[in-house]
Amino acid sequence: MQAKYEIMRKSILFFASCILLLASCSPEYNQVLKTQDYHYKYEYAKQCFATGKYQRAMLLLSDLVHFEKGTENGQECLYMLAMTAYNTKNYDDAAQAFKKYYQSYPKGVYAEMAQFYIGQSLYDGTPEPRLDQSQTVAAIAAFQEFLDIFPDTELKPAAQQRLFDLQDKLVKKELHSAQLYYDLGTYFGNCTNGGNNYEACIITAQNALKDYPYTSLREEFAVLIMKSKFELAQQSVEGKKLERFQDAEDECYGFINEYPDSKQRATAERYIKRCKEVTKN
């Protein structure tokens, strides 16, 4: 329902902008819109595109892509239409238009750039890490496909950097999820299957480290694992307390060995002292 609403909202905004644009257009431009001289319309659209008048170019090109389909100018019209959407930050429309171009002209003049901009459009439209990251996953797939199709492209460094950036966003999403579990702590209202928020934090953080072993956020995940294991031991029933305090103590030593200069070292040492008090008794 939310997605349908968003599509309707974008459509209304698009048509509203078109109406406002038409109302403010010069007599010359209105004549170009109405003319049946498609060669003249094509040249005028190119001029609008070249001078950054993307809204005007978009209206003309939307008409031209149908008329010019299969002609010598067809692929340029479709590529320019995709670029107008991208340059006006209509990233979803741009991704679809670039995809249509590549599907229509896989050997076309702009095939490589179109394939790159499928990923770039999705990349620019990705939300902040706290939100759903399905578009981030789609952008990663698009750039990977681009590199598979064009392995020797000059855009390879740019595509690889985008992949690193997108992966960082997924890592931050996992870090946010792990932190949320930790912050929920002893609240069990969200644990419908008898689970524990500290256990969920540990599993989420450990899985993230397995999936993204080279992330720059390794220490942040390690801190959450250490803290969650200690809190889990604190909350444990007597039958599991000794084992969990031993596990927490081992985790703290491992943390200090890996991050000896961490700001959280004092926390790890405090935990170790508490763990020893329990395990020695």
Q: Residue 249 pLDDT > 60, yes or no?
A: yes
Helix intervals (H) in the chain? 2-24, 27-34, 38-50, 54-67, 74-87, 91-104, 111-124, 134-149, 156-184, 197-211, 218-235, 238-258, 265-279
- Which tens digit of pLDDT belongs to each residue from 183-231? 998 886 554 444 589 999 999 999 999 999 999 999 999 999 999 999 9
Query: What 8-state DSSP symbol labels residue 141?
Result: H
Reported as type and span, the H/E element at residue 249 is helix 238-258
Q: What is the pTM assigned to this prediction?
A: 0.80
At residue 190, the pLDDT reads 55
Distances (CA, A) of 191 to 42, 233, 238: 61, 18, 21
Distances (CA, A) of 29 to 41, 73, 145: 10, 21, 40
pLDDT band for 23, please (50, 70, 90 cuts): very low
**240 or 3, which is more confident?**
240
Tokens coding 242: 């000794």
At residue 27, the pLDDT reads 65
Closest CA to 227 of 264, 195, 174: 264
For residue 84, count other CB atoms closer than 10 A to its CB.
Answer: 27
At residue 174, the pLDDT reads 97
Tokens coding 12: 């209304």
- Which tens digit of pLDDT belongs to each residue from 51-108? 999 999 999 999 999 889 888 899 999 999 999 999 999 999 999 999 999 999 999 9
At residue 192, the pLDDT reads 46
